[in-house]
Amino acid sequence: MVQFTGGCLCGTIRYAVNAEPQRMHNCHCDTCRKVTGSAFATNIFVAEDDVVITQGEPKSFSHAADSGNTVVKEFCANCGSQLFGHGTGRPGVKNIKVGSIDDASFVQPVADLYVKRALPFTQIDPSLDGFDEMP
Ligand SMILES: [Zn+2]
Ligand SMILES: [Zn+2]
């Protein structure tokens, strides 16, 4: 059963996710800021096998994370929209950038990561768990 669908800005890449998200959190690290072009990223974690690319083929870019793990970002080569990330630190798990989801009204982050790097204007919900770095 399809739980939710998403895609990039230009419509070249489309995906469907067939499972409930495992975790959802906001990340205020420098990498998430750079890659999203926004103040922070909201990431939805699902099992890699539950993400089905229904159209197009994302391009990928690999880099080293703070932890030393290799992290891969997947995006549309045509419009540049960021779609997914995965890394050697969490094999078999993919994160989905919330902005790529068609109807993300179900999303409720449970934690904020890298709070100490959050931009001064960012409002952090005090009812969520907050971590200075990656817990
Ligand atoms: Zn695109
Ligand atoms: Zn981050």
Average pLDDT over residues 49-55: 96
Contact 133, 118 (CB under 8 A): no
Residue, of 1 and 126, whose pLDDT is higher: 126
Average pLDDT over residues 77-97: 95
- Ligand 1 centroid from CA 99, angstroms: 13
Ligand nearest to the CA of 73: 2
Average pLDDT, rounded, for the chain: 94
Spans of all domains in the chain: 4-130
Q: Is 54 within 8 Å of 29 (Cβ atoms)?
A: no
62's CB contacts (< 8 A; 6+ apart) are: 70, 71, 72, 73
pTM: 0.92
Burial 65-93 (b: 16+ CB within 10 A, else e): eeeeeebebbbbeeeebbbbbbbeeeeeb
Distance (Å) from CA 100 to ligand 2 centroid: 16
Topology of domain 4-130 in CATH is 2.170.150
Among all bound ligands, the one having the nearest atom to the CA of 15 is: 1
pLDDT band at 68 (very low <50, low <70, confident <90, very high): confident
From the CA of 80, the nearest ligand is 1
Which of 17-21, 60-64, 65-69 comes out lowest in average pLDDT?
65-69
Instruction: Find the mean pLDDT for residues 64-70.
Output: 87
Closest CA to 84 of 29, 37, 44, 31: 44
Predicted confidence at residue 10, as pLDDT, reads 98
